[in-house]
Copies of this chain bind each other. A is one copy, B any other.
Amino acid sequence: MVTIAAPRLIDRLRSQRTQAPEGDLFDPDCPTRLVLDRIGDKWTALVVLLLSDGPMRFSELRGQLGRIAPKVLTQTLRRMERDGLLTREVFAEVPPRVQYTLTDLGHSLSGPLAAIGDWAEANVGRITAAQTAYDAVPGN
């Protein structure tokens, strides 16, 4: 029933790659790997999805994420700012307010990420089922 196939990446892989256009995921030395690392860290993907709806401030993000240490959230946001995924605006008010806004680059990532997220939410059941089935076999 499932007939999705991965197109461009694999094609480029099969053909002898002489010069990657921009980046090559399968080149161990290509910084493209860094992108996957970022996406894969525990919070970046969630932050992108949250901010895709509009700017948020620190506490809002913290509340939505739940159980994230302030230090970790700061680290995540700083790294994302460095990567150009979001911008940070500090308002000299009392009480202080800091607003985080997704850049165009960040917005362009939210689409693919949402697809992954939807897939995850749709298929958790199958995965956990597969896990228990696997664990039920004595050999494993």
Contacts and interface: CB of A to CB of B under 8 A. Distances in A.
Interface in A117-132: 117-131
A30 interface: yes
Contact size class for A? 35 or more
Contacts of A23: 120-122, 124-125
A116 B120 contact: no
A35 B123 contact: yes
A69 interface: no
A35 B40 CA distance: 10
B66 A28 contact: yes
Interface of A: 1-10, 13-14, 20-28, 30-37, 39-42, 45-46, 48-50, 52-53, 64-67, 81-84, 104-105, 107-131, 133-135, 140
